[in-house]
Chains A and B, each alone.
Chain A
Amino acid sequence: MEKILNRIHLVSDPEATYFLQVSWEKDLGTGFSILLSDGQFSWAGTVSEAEISREAADMEMNKEKYVEELKKALVTREESAGKYNYLISRDQENVVCQFSYERSLKDGSFRLGSVKLQEVPSPAKVVKELIGYCLDSLGKLQAKNEHLQRENERLFSNWSDAEKRLEKCVEAKEKLEADLYNRFILVLNEKKAKIRNLQKLLNEAKESAADA
């Protein structure tokens, strides 16, 4: 079971904050549950797979595409802030609440879905559950953060170690090369000295032959 908790604001009343929890099994397309709370009152309801299919058909939309829209509207809100509108209408006694979500367009909007929610008798329990969910998420994130930090430190130390070792290899190569070239030059120059000497001897022999 997957769960996501978001904060939503209403177009009609931007000051009011609602907490929207959506939970689903595996995929949003196979139905999901909604828990809505304003901190005081809470309402719950479900959207079945059949309803999702019907909504998609009513809008003459491919079901997959419709589910993608639902995800954007209800789950990954951060990226699409402002692109979706939420409407909430509650009765006087707060027993029933109509929750609708729509995609806002340049000119007007079109409704993605609407669900009738019933009041949850113990709102304190709902708030407790929501806070619990937040704390759990926080704990998980903290653990993950620590793990990543450790991992990062490990990678960093491996990197500097490898860099140091590589530098040693490069130094050794430079040294070996410079040393071999030095020896090579000394031996090569010995050969050249010999050639010069032989040239000198040859010239001397030529001169003495000419003299004779």
Chain B
Amino acid sequence: KAPDLSSVNKVSNVFEDVEFCVMTGTGKYTKSELESRIAECGGSVVQNPGPETYCVIAGAENVRVKNIIASNKYDVVRAEWLLQCFQTKMLVPWQPAVMIHMSPDTKEHFAREYDCYGDSYTANTDVAQLKEVFSRVKDNKAMPLDIIAKIEERYSWNSCQLSIFRGNTIYVDCYAIINEPKSKIPAIALSIRALELRFYGGKVVSHLVEGVSHVVIGEDHSRVKEIKALRRTFRKKFKIVTELWVKESVEEGVAKNENQYLV
């Protein structure tokens, strides 16, 4: 049923000669409220989309909206976009975020302007927009630490204070028996060092194997001999340093030279 919009006072010409079809309202605004505000801005409203309809507005998705989407003939736009237009008193360009569904023409247009995550090829982005874009990335597999290290190196982010130990693979001597995670010594300061190493970008491993770059030792030096014996069997030699190396590197925000902490 079409609402009577004859008594509406026109306040602007933003939507002059633009035809809308409002399907549903939002939690805040009813369908008819949205319709009368369109009329206030000079736009016209129809109850079923036709060849002249600019776009379909949907506050919530229901069966009718789904049918419109299935027909693939119309652009279905979020009611939020309409509110943006009312607020700024201008026809705000569509952005991927406001599109519920795009007709083939619009889709093509968007493909020229935006990537598949809705990030513009040409317009600068900002924190809020990038958050939006990121939220549309559904493929959220975690990036391995060594690839992060490469990216940071490439873009010179490796001087970041949170990347002090980036690229290092570290074994922390907090197991009573080497390479036996079950023998972890409880409540020792060294386990905090291990967490610090991880927090500041290091890769902490529970097994002392080929490829480890550092071994961090606490007050207890009883396993040093065994660690050194193990090192002799490795092709790539690791450095054995005291936990002071971790402490002082964290305090100063840069990786300190290991040579003054060697065991």
Contacts and interface: CB of A to CB of B under 8 A. Distances in A.
A191 B198 contact: no
Interface string A187-207: 100110110000000000000
A166 B137 contact: no
Interface residues of A, number: 26
B192 A183 contact: no
Most chain B CB atoms below 10 A, which of A170, A177, A187, A194 = A187
B140 A182 contact: yes
Q: Which of A163, A170, A173, A183 has the most CB of B within 10 A?
A: A183
B187 A179 contact: no
B151 interface: yes
Contacts of A184: 134, 151
A194 B121 contact: yes
B2 interface: no
B137 A190 contact: no
A186 interface: yes
B115 A182 contact: no
Contact of A177 (B115, B148, B187): B148
A178 interface: yes
Given A178-B148, A191-B115, A170 B198 contact: yes
A182 B191 contact: no
Given A180-B134, A181-B151, A187 B140 contact: no
A163 B191 contact: yes
Given A182-B142, A183-B140, A194 B115 contact: yes
Contact of B187 (A160, A173, A194): A160
A163 B191 CA distance: 8
A110 interface: no
Contacts of B186: 160
A185 B151 contact: yes
A166 B196 CA distance: 9
A117 B198 CA distance: 70
B141 interface: yes
B119 A187 contact: yes
Contact of A183 (B137, B144, B148, B198): B137
- Across chains A and B, which 4 residue pairs bring their CB atoms closest together, nearest first? A190-B115, A178-B142, A181-B143, A183-B137
Interface of A: 156, 159-160, 163, 166-167, 169-170, 173-175, 177-187, 190-191, 193-194
